[in-house]
Amino acid sequence: MSISKSKFRTLLLIIAVLLLFSTFMSFAQSTVKLRVVTYFTGEDPFSPAWKDAMALFKQKYPNVEIIDEAVPTANDAIRTKVKTDFATDNEPDVMFFFTGADAIPLLKTGKIYAWDEEIEKDKKWSDNFNKASLKFTTYKGDIKEYDGKIYALPTIGFYEGLFVNKDLFEKYNLALPTDWNKFTKAISILKSRNIIPIAGSILESYYLIETFILSAGGPEGHDTPFHPSWETGLNYIKQVYKLGAFPKDALTIKDDQARELFYTKKAGMMVNGSWCVGGLKDKENTVIMPLPVVPGGKAHPTDIIGGFGSGWYVSKKANAEKKGLPVEFVKFMTSPEIVAKFVSIAGVPAVKVNLTGLSPAAKSGFDMMAKARAICMPIDAQIVPEAFTKIRLGLSYVVTEERSAKDLLKEAKEIHERAQK
Protein backbone atom coordinates (compact mmCIF):
# COMPACT_ATOMS: atom_id res chain seq x y z
CA MET A 1 0.00 0.00 0.00
CA SER A 2 2.85 2.39 0.69
CA ILE A 3 4.05 1.81 -2.83
CA SER A 4 1.35 3.95 -4.30
CA LYS A 5 2.00 7.02 -2.22
CA SER A 6 5.65 7.37 -3.08
CA LYS A 7 4.98 6.33 -6.65
CA PHE A 8 2.35 8.99 -6.87
CA ARG A 9 4.73 11.56 -5.52
CA THR A 10 7.41 10.60 -8.02
CA LEU A 11 4.88 10.77 -10.82
CA LEU A 12 3.93 14.28 -9.79
CA LEU A 13 7.55 15.21 -9.64
CA ILE A 14 8.24 13.83 -13.10
CA ILE A 15 5.29 15.67 -14.59
CA ALA A 16 6.33 18.90 -12.92
CA VAL A 17 9.90 18.56 -14.12
CA LEU A 18 8.88 17.73 -17.70
CA LEU A 19 6.47 20.63 -17.86
CA LEU A 20 9.00 23.04 -16.42
CA PHE A 21 11.65 21.77 -18.78
CA SER A 22 9.50 22.25 -21.82
CA THR A 23 8.48 25.75 -20.80
CA PHE A 24 12.11 26.62 -20.25
CA MET A 25 13.07 25.35 -23.69
CA SER A 26 10.56 27.65 -25.30
CA PHE A 27 11.97 30.73 -23.64
CA ALA A 28 15.57 30.20 -24.65
CA GLN A 29 16.73 33.07 -26.86
CA SER A 30 19.27 33.42 -29.68
CA THR A 31 20.87 35.78 -32.30
CA VAL A 32 19.26 37.37 -35.37
CA LYS A 33 16.87 34.77 -36.65
CA LEU A 34 15.37 34.47 -40.07
CA ARG A 35 12.36 32.20 -40.45
CA VAL A 36 12.29 30.64 -43.86
CA VAL A 37 9.60 28.32 -45.19
CA THR A 38 10.15 26.33 -48.37
CA TYR A 39 9.34 22.87 -49.63
CA PHE A 40 12.96 21.87 -50.08
CA THR A 41 13.04 18.97 -47.72
CA GLY A 42 13.03 15.22 -47.58
CA GLU A 43 12.80 13.69 -51.00
CA ASP A 44 12.39 16.98 -52.82
CA PRO A 45 15.00 17.02 -55.60
CA PHE A 46 16.04 20.59 -54.83
CA SER A 47 16.97 19.88 -51.24
CA PRO A 48 20.71 19.43 -51.88
CA ALA A 49 20.86 22.75 -53.74
CA TRP A 50 19.00 24.42 -50.91
CA LYS A 51 21.40 23.00 -48.38
CA ASP A 52 24.36 24.39 -50.33
CA ALA A 53 22.71 27.77 -50.77
CA MET A 54 22.03 28.11 -47.06
CA ALA A 55 25.62 27.17 -46.23
CA LEU A 56 26.92 29.82 -48.63
CA PHE A 57 24.63 32.42 -47.11
CA LYS A 58 25.89 31.52 -43.67
CA GLN A 59 29.43 32.13 -44.81
CA LYS A 60 28.55 35.57 -46.00
CA TYR A 61 26.36 36.51 -43.04
CA PRO A 62 27.71 34.58 -40.03
CA ASN A 63 25.56 36.39 -37.45
CA VAL A 64 22.30 35.30 -39.02
CA GLU A 65 20.59 32.10 -37.93
CA ILE A 66 18.39 30.62 -40.60
CA ILE A 67 15.45 28.81 -39.10
CA ASP A 68 14.55 26.30 -41.74
CA GLU A 69 10.86 25.45 -41.52
CA ALA A 70 10.70 23.47 -44.71
CA VAL A 71 7.54 21.42 -45.18
CA PRO A 72 6.88 18.89 -47.93
CA THR A 73 4.41 19.50 -50.75
CA ALA A 74 2.86 16.09 -50.20
CA ASN A 75 -0.74 16.15 -49.03
CA ASP A 76 -0.80 19.93 -49.30
CA ALA A 77 1.11 20.15 -46.04
CA ILE A 78 2.90 23.30 -47.08
CA ARG A 79 -0.28 25.01 -48.23
CA THR A 80 -1.88 24.36 -44.88
CA LYS A 81 1.15 25.50 -42.95
CA VAL A 82 1.57 28.76 -44.83
CA LYS A 83 -2.08 29.60 -44.75
CA THR A 84 -2.50 28.88 -41.05
CA ASP A 85 0.66 30.86 -40.28
CA PHE A 86 -0.73 33.89 -42.08
CA ALA A 87 -4.12 33.48 -40.48
CA THR A 88 -2.66 33.53 -36.99
CA ASP A 89 -0.34 36.50 -37.64
CA ASN A 90 2.61 34.19 -37.49
CA GLU A 91 3.75 34.52 -41.08
CA PRO A 92 7.32 33.47 -41.97
CA ASP A 93 9.93 36.13 -42.74
CA VAL A 94 10.80 34.61 -46.09
CA MET A 95 9.18 31.86 -48.04
CA PHE A 96 9.39 30.06 -51.31
CA PHE A 97 5.80 29.26 -52.10
CA PHE A 98 3.29 28.79 -54.90
CA THR A 99 2.14 31.76 -56.91
CA GLY A 100 -1.10 32.30 -58.78
CA ALA A 101 -4.32 31.24 -57.06
CA ASP A 102 -2.48 30.27 -53.88
CA ALA A 103 -1.10 33.77 -53.53
CA ILE A 104 -4.45 35.51 -53.51
CA PRO A 105 -5.46 34.74 -49.92
CA LEU A 106 -2.03 35.91 -48.82
CA LEU A 107 -2.26 39.14 -50.79
CA LYS A 108 -5.62 39.79 -49.20
CA THR A 109 -3.91 39.97 -45.82
CA GLY A 110 -1.73 42.82 -47.04
CA LYS A 111 1.31 41.29 -45.36
CA ILE A 112 3.32 40.61 -48.49
CA TYR A 113 6.20 42.85 -49.51
CA ALA A 114 6.02 44.20 -53.05
CA TRP A 115 9.27 44.19 -55.05
CA ASP A 116 8.81 46.94 -57.59
CA GLU A 117 10.72 49.58 -55.66
CA GLU A 118 13.68 47.36 -54.96
CA ILE A 119 13.81 46.25 -58.58
CA GLU A 120 14.03 49.88 -59.67
CA LYS A 121 16.62 50.74 -57.06
CA ASP A 122 19.02 47.83 -57.52
CA LYS A 123 19.34 47.47 -61.27
CA LYS A 124 22.54 45.49 -61.01
CA TRP A 125 20.65 42.68 -59.36
CA SER A 126 17.28 43.02 -61.05
CA ASP A 127 18.65 43.14 -64.60
CA ASN A 128 19.50 39.47 -64.26
CA PHE A 129 15.85 38.56 -64.41
CA ASN A 130 14.14 37.54 -67.60
CA LYS A 131 11.46 40.20 -67.84
CA ALA A 132 8.98 37.66 -69.18
CA SER A 133 9.33 35.52 -66.09
CA LEU A 134 8.46 38.43 -63.79
CA LYS A 135 5.07 38.64 -65.48
CA PHE A 136 4.15 35.37 -63.82
CA THR A 137 4.46 36.89 -60.38
CA THR A 138 2.74 40.17 -61.12
CA TYR A 139 -0.73 40.48 -59.72
CA LYS A 140 -3.62 41.81 -61.70
CA GLY A 141 -6.93 41.95 -59.97
CA ASP A 142 -9.19 43.43 -57.39
CA ILE A 143 -6.78 43.81 -54.52
CA LYS A 144 -5.87 47.44 -55.02
CA GLU A 145 -2.70 47.45 -53.00
CA TYR A 146 -1.05 44.89 -55.23
CA ASP A 147 -2.65 45.51 -58.58
CA GLY A 148 0.11 45.57 -61.17
CA LYS A 149 2.76 44.89 -58.57
CA ILE A 150 5.31 42.11 -58.36
CA TYR A 151 4.55 40.16 -55.20
CA ALA A 152 7.11 37.39 -55.47
CA LEU A 153 10.33 36.64 -57.29
CA PRO A 154 10.45 33.59 -59.54
CA THR A 155 13.63 31.56 -59.79
CA ILE A 156 12.94 28.08 -61.10
CA GLY A 157 10.21 27.52 -63.59
CA PHE A 158 8.72 24.36 -64.92
CA TYR A 159 7.19 22.97 -68.04
CA GLU A 160 4.77 20.15 -68.67
CA GLY A 161 4.87 17.96 -71.71
CA LEU A 162 4.90 14.54 -73.24
CA PHE A 163 7.85 12.42 -72.17
CA VAL A 164 8.78 9.73 -74.67
CA ASN A 165 11.01 6.69 -74.25
CA LYS A 166 12.78 7.11 -77.58
CA ASP A 167 14.36 3.70 -77.43
CA LEU A 168 11.00 1.94 -77.22
CA PHE A 169 9.73 3.91 -80.19
CA GLU A 170 12.80 2.99 -82.19
CA LYS A 171 12.44 -0.63 -81.19
CA TYR A 172 8.95 -0.80 -82.61
CA ASN A 173 9.63 1.44 -85.59
CA LEU A 174 7.38 4.19 -84.43
CA ALA A 175 7.72 7.79 -85.44
CA LEU A 176 7.87 10.23 -82.56
CA PRO A 177 4.32 11.44 -81.75
CA THR A 178 4.53 14.92 -83.19
CA ASP A 179 0.92 14.89 -84.35
CA TRP A 180 -2.28 13.22 -83.30
CA ASN A 181 -2.18 10.44 -85.87
CA LYS A 182 1.30 9.37 -84.93
CA PHE A 183 0.21 9.60 -81.31
CA THR A 184 -2.76 7.27 -81.66
CA LYS A 185 -0.76 4.92 -83.86
CA ALA A 186 1.90 4.69 -81.19
CA ILE A 187 -0.75 3.93 -78.61
CA SER A 188 -2.19 1.00 -80.53
CA ILE A 189 1.16 -0.50 -81.49
CA LEU A 190 2.63 -0.21 -77.99
CA LYS A 191 -0.50 -1.71 -76.54
CA SER A 192 -0.30 -4.68 -78.85
CA ARG A 193 3.26 -5.26 -77.67
CA ASN A 194 2.21 -5.22 -74.00
CA ILE A 195 3.86 -1.92 -73.32
CA ILE A 196 1.68 0.54 -71.45
CA PRO A 197 1.24 3.34 -73.97
CA ILE A 198 0.87 6.20 -71.48
CA ALA A 199 1.89 5.94 -67.84
CA GLY A 200 -0.65 8.18 -66.20
CA SER A 201 -2.88 8.42 -63.18
CA ILE A 202 -6.51 9.44 -63.58
CA LEU A 203 -6.63 10.05 -59.85
CA GLU A 204 -3.69 12.45 -59.89
CA SER A 205 -4.46 13.74 -63.33
CA TYR A 206 -3.32 17.36 -62.97
CA TYR A 207 -1.02 17.32 -65.97
CA LEU A 208 -3.34 15.38 -68.25
CA ILE A 209 -6.13 17.83 -67.68
CA GLU A 210 -4.01 20.89 -68.34
CA THR A 211 -2.17 19.67 -71.42
CA PHE A 212 -5.25 18.24 -73.11
CA ILE A 213 -7.28 21.35 -72.50
CA LEU A 214 -4.48 23.51 -73.86
CA SER A 215 -4.26 21.28 -76.89
CA ALA A 216 -7.97 21.62 -77.54
CA GLY A 217 -8.45 25.28 -76.80
CA GLY A 218 -5.12 26.92 -77.34
CA PRO A 219 -3.93 29.59 -74.93
CA GLU A 220 -7.14 31.54 -75.18
CA GLY A 221 -9.36 28.56 -74.47
CA HIS A 222 -7.11 27.28 -71.73
CA ASP A 223 -6.83 30.58 -69.93
CA THR A 224 -10.56 31.31 -69.93
CA PRO A 225 -12.19 29.51 -67.03
CA PHE A 226 -14.73 26.99 -68.24
CA HIS A 227 -14.32 27.76 -71.91
CA PRO A 228 -16.09 25.17 -74.18
CA SER A 229 -12.70 23.78 -75.18
CA TRP A 230 -12.35 22.43 -71.65
CA GLU A 231 -15.10 19.97 -72.38
CA THR A 232 -13.38 18.98 -75.61
CA GLY A 233 -10.11 18.44 -73.81
CA LEU A 234 -11.67 16.19 -71.18
CA ASN A 235 -13.48 14.21 -73.85
CA TYR A 236 -10.20 13.54 -75.61
CA ILE A 237 -8.74 12.19 -72.40
CA LYS A 238 -11.74 9.90 -72.35
CA GLN A 239 -11.08 8.82 -75.91
CA VAL A 240 -7.47 8.02 -75.15
CA TYR A 241 -8.55 6.12 -72.03
CA LYS A 242 -10.94 4.05 -74.08
CA LEU A 243 -8.13 3.20 -76.47
CA GLY A 244 -6.59 1.44 -73.51
CA ALA A 245 -3.65 3.81 -73.37
CA PHE A 246 -3.44 4.03 -69.60
CA PRO A 247 -2.38 1.41 -67.04
CA LYS A 248 -5.05 -1.00 -65.91
CA ASP A 249 -5.21 0.59 -62.45
CA ALA A 250 -5.09 4.15 -63.76
CA LEU A 251 -8.11 5.08 -61.67
CA THR A 252 -6.33 4.50 -58.39
CA ILE A 253 -2.61 4.46 -59.11
CA LYS A 254 -0.65 7.35 -57.71
CA ASP A 255 1.44 9.61 -59.88
CA ASP A 256 4.75 8.43 -58.51
CA GLN A 257 3.95 4.81 -59.25
CA ALA A 258 2.93 5.82 -62.75
CA ARG A 259 6.25 7.59 -63.19
CA GLU A 260 8.04 4.49 -62.05
CA LEU A 261 6.38 2.61 -64.90
CA PHE A 262 7.84 5.10 -67.34
CA TYR A 263 11.29 5.15 -65.75
CA THR A 264 11.53 1.38 -65.89
CA LYS A 265 10.51 1.34 -69.56
CA LYS A 266 7.26 -0.48 -68.92
CA ALA A 267 5.50 2.45 -70.54
CA GLY A 268 6.24 4.29 -73.73
CA MET A 269 5.06 7.78 -72.83
CA MET A 270 3.92 9.89 -69.97
CA VAL A 271 2.43 13.34 -69.52
CA ASN A 272 4.32 15.03 -66.74
CA GLY A 273 6.59 17.91 -65.86
CA SER A 274 10.16 19.12 -65.67
CA TRP A 275 10.52 17.96 -62.09
CA CYS A 276 10.68 14.41 -63.40
CA VAL A 277 13.91 14.99 -65.24
CA GLY A 278 15.87 14.58 -62.03
CA GLY A 279 14.36 11.15 -61.49
CA LEU A 280 14.90 9.84 -65.00
CA LYS A 281 17.02 6.73 -64.95
CA ASP A 282 17.76 6.99 -68.63
CA LYS A 283 18.57 10.55 -69.53
CA GLU A 284 19.91 9.65 -72.95
CA ASN A 285 16.91 8.07 -74.55
CA THR A 286 14.17 10.25 -73.19
CA VAL A 287 12.73 13.04 -75.28
CA ILE A 288 10.36 15.73 -74.11
CA MET A 289 7.92 17.37 -76.48
CA PRO A 290 4.59 19.18 -76.46
CA LEU A 291 1.46 17.07 -76.41
CA PRO A 292 0.23 16.76 -80.01
CA VAL A 293 -2.69 18.94 -80.98
CA VAL A 294 -6.01 17.14 -80.84
CA PRO A 295 -8.09 17.06 -84.01
CA GLY A 296 -9.69 20.49 -84.36
CA GLY A 297 -7.63 21.83 -81.53
CA LYS A 298 -6.71 25.49 -81.46
CA ALA A 299 -3.24 25.20 -80.02
CA HIS A 300 -0.10 25.77 -81.95
CA PRO A 301 2.04 22.61 -81.96
CA THR A 302 4.63 24.36 -79.80
CA ASP A 303 2.30 25.72 -77.11
CA ILE A 304 2.99 24.30 -73.69
CA ILE A 305 1.94 24.49 -70.11
CA GLY A 306 4.60 26.01 -68.00
CA GLY A 307 5.70 28.98 -66.12
CA PHE A 308 6.84 29.96 -62.77
CA GLY A 309 4.60 28.38 -60.23
CA SER A 310 6.57 29.37 -57.18
CA GLY A 311 8.48 32.37 -56.03
CA TRP A 312 10.25 34.04 -53.14
CA TYR A 313 8.01 36.07 -50.86
CA VAL A 314 9.00 38.39 -48.05
CA SER A 315 6.90 39.54 -45.11
CA LYS A 316 6.47 43.31 -44.92
CA LYS A 317 6.54 43.22 -41.16
CA ALA A 318 9.65 41.08 -40.94
CA ASN A 319 11.53 43.18 -43.44
CA ALA A 320 10.85 46.33 -41.47
CA GLU A 321 11.70 44.70 -38.15
CA LYS A 322 14.85 42.99 -39.37
CA LYS A 323 16.20 46.00 -41.26
CA GLY A 324 15.95 44.60 -44.76
CA LEU A 325 17.61 41.29 -43.98
CA PRO A 326 14.82 39.21 -45.54
CA VAL A 327 15.14 41.16 -48.78
CA GLU A 328 18.92 40.66 -48.73
CA PHE A 329 18.39 36.96 -48.28
CA VAL A 330 16.10 36.72 -51.28
CA LYS A 331 18.43 38.80 -53.42
CA PHE A 332 21.16 36.34 -52.53
CA MET A 333 18.93 33.40 -53.45
CA THR A 334 18.01 34.95 -56.76
CA SER A 335 21.55 35.70 -57.82
CA PRO A 336 22.73 33.81 -60.91
CA GLU A 337 25.23 31.61 -59.02
CA ILE A 338 22.64 30.31 -56.60
CA VAL A 339 19.91 29.85 -59.18
CA ALA A 340 22.35 27.86 -61.29
CA LYS A 341 22.63 25.33 -58.50
CA PHE A 342 18.92 24.75 -58.55
CA VAL A 343 18.62 24.67 -62.27
CA SER A 344 21.36 22.10 -62.64
CA ILE A 345 18.98 19.72 -60.89
CA ALA A 346 15.80 20.54 -62.76
CA GLY A 347 13.62 23.34 -63.94
CA VAL A 348 14.01 26.42 -66.07
CA PRO A 349 15.63 29.58 -64.72
CA ALA A 350 14.01 32.98 -64.44
CA VAL A 351 17.41 34.47 -64.15
CA LYS A 352 20.17 34.56 -66.75
CA VAL A 353 22.25 31.54 -65.96
CA ASN A 354 24.96 29.61 -67.74
CA LEU A 355 23.59 26.25 -68.73
CA THR A 356 26.23 23.69 -69.50
CA GLY A 357 26.47 19.95 -69.23
CA LEU A 358 22.81 19.22 -69.68
CA SER A 359 21.64 15.71 -70.40
CA PRO A 360 19.82 15.12 -73.72
CA ALA A 361 16.54 14.80 -71.86
CA ALA A 362 16.94 18.06 -69.99
CA LYS A 363 18.10 19.75 -73.17
CA SER A 364 15.02 18.64 -75.09
CA GLY A 365 12.90 20.10 -72.32
CA PHE A 366 14.69 23.43 -72.44
CA ASP A 367 14.43 23.54 -76.20
CA MET A 368 10.73 22.84 -76.01
CA MET A 369 10.36 25.76 -73.65
CA ALA A 370 12.57 28.06 -75.69
CA LYS A 371 10.69 27.33 -78.91
CA ALA A 372 7.23 27.65 -77.40
CA ARG A 373 4.97 30.18 -78.95
CA ALA A 374 2.90 30.44 -75.79
CA ILE A 375 3.55 29.29 -72.25
CA CYS A 376 0.43 28.99 -70.13
CA MET A 377 0.23 28.68 -66.37
CA PRO A 378 -1.62 25.53 -65.39
CA ILE A 379 -5.35 25.58 -64.80
CA ASP A 380 -5.05 24.83 -61.12
CA ALA A 381 -3.51 28.27 -60.77
CA GLN A 382 -6.55 29.87 -62.36
CA ILE A 383 -9.60 28.52 -60.64
CA VAL A 384 -10.23 27.96 -56.96
CA PRO A 385 -8.67 24.77 -55.60
CA GLU A 386 -12.06 23.33 -54.75
CA ALA A 387 -13.25 23.63 -58.34
CA PHE A 388 -10.09 22.11 -59.75
CA THR A 389 -10.29 19.26 -57.25
CA LYS A 390 -13.83 18.63 -58.40
CA ILE A 391 -12.66 18.27 -61.99
CA ARG A 392 -9.66 16.15 -61.15
CA LEU A 393 -11.53 13.74 -58.91
CA GLY A 394 -14.45 13.71 -61.33
CA LEU A 395 -12.28 12.74 -64.27
CA SER A 396 -12.65 9.05 -63.40
CA TYR A 397 -16.41 9.39 -63.85
CA VAL A 398 -15.88 11.02 -67.22
CA VAL A 399 -13.46 8.48 -68.67
CA THR A 400 -15.67 5.59 -67.58
CA GLU A 401 -18.68 7.37 -69.05
CA GLU A 402 -20.55 7.58 -65.78
CA ARG A 403 -20.90 11.31 -66.10
CA SER A 404 -20.50 13.68 -68.95
CA ALA A 405 -17.68 16.17 -69.05
CA LYS A 406 -20.28 18.86 -69.59
CA ASP A 407 -22.03 18.14 -66.30
CA LEU A 408 -18.78 17.89 -64.39
CA LEU A 409 -17.57 21.22 -65.68
CA LYS A 410 -20.91 22.82 -64.94
CA GLU A 411 -20.62 21.73 -61.32
CA ALA A 412 -17.04 22.91 -61.07
CA LYS A 413 -18.06 26.24 -62.53
CA GLU A 414 -20.73 26.66 -59.88
CA ILE A 415 -18.18 25.97 -57.19
CA HIS A 416 -15.78 28.50 -58.68
CA GLU A 417 -18.49 31.14 -58.88
CA ARG A 418 -19.74 30.49 -55.37
CA ALA A 419 -16.27 31.11 -54.07
CA GLN A 420 -16.01 34.48 -55.75
CA LYS A 421 -18.70 35.95 -53.52
Three-state secondary structure call for residue 209: helix
Tell whether residue 15 is a contact of other proteins (CB under 8 A).
Answer: yes
Q: How far is the CB of 352 from other proteins (least distance, A)?
A: 27
How many beta carbons lie within 10 A of that of residue 280, not counting itself? 20
Q: How far is the CB of 259 from other proteins (least distance, A)?
A: 7
Euclidean distance between CA atoms 288 and 285, whole angstroms: 10
Q: How far is the CB of 401 from other proteins (least distance, A)?
A: 11
Three-state secondary structure call for residue 129: strand
Give which of 208, 293, 281, 291 is closest to 250, Cα–Cα.
208
Contact 164, 263 (CB under 8 A): no
Q: Quick one: 38 or 235, whose CB is closer to other proteins?
A: 38
Task: From 114-122, 140-148, 150-158, 390-398, give the range in contact with other proteins by CB under 8 A.
Answer: 390-398
What backbone phi and psi angles, to 5 degrees, belong to 288? -115, 130
Tell whether residue 85 is a contact of other proteins (CB under 8 A).
Answer: yes
Give which of 202, 197, 199 is closest to 252, Cα–Cα.
202
The residues with which 164 forms a beta bridge, in sequence order, are: 269, 287
Tell whether residue 173 is a contact of other proteins (CB under 8 A).
Answer: no
Q: Restricting to residues 191-230, which ones interact with other proteins according to CB under 8 A?
A: 202-203
Tell whether residue 22 is a contact of other proteins (CB under 8 A).
Answer: yes
Tell whether residue 19 is a contact of other proteins (CB under 8 A).
Answer: yes
Residue 180 to residues 172, 332, 351, 388: CA-CA distances in angstroms? 18, 45, 35, 26
Q: DSSP character for 277?
A: G
Contact 183, 271 (CB under 8 A): no
Q: How far is the CB of 164 from other proteins (least distance, A)?
A: 20
Q: Restricting to residues 34-53, which ones interact with other proteins according to CB under 8 A?
A: 37, 39-45, 47-48, 50-51
Task: From 87-95, 118-126, 171-179, 361-369, give the range in contact with other proteins by CB under 8 A.
Answer: 87-95
Q: Quick one: 71 or 294, whose CB is closer to other proteins?
A: 71
Task: From 79-87, 118-126, 141-149, 174-182, give the range in contact with other proteins by CB under 8 A.
Answer: 79-87
Tell whether residue 75 is a contact of other proteins (CB under 8 A).
Answer: yes
Q: Which amino acid is at 376?
A: C
Tell whether residue 132 is a contact of other proteins (CB under 8 A).
Answer: no
Euclidean distance between CA atoms 218 and 230, whole angstroms: 10
- From residue 266 to residue 305, the character string flagging contacts with other proteins as x (rule: CB under 8 A) and all else as - is x--------x---x--------------------------
Tell whether residue 386 is a contact of other proteins (CB under 8 A).
Answer: yes
Task: From 98-106, 226-234, 237-245, 351-359, give the range in contact with other proteins by CB under 8 A.
Answer: 98-106
Give which of 142, 44, 29, 20 is closest to 346, Cα–Cα.
44
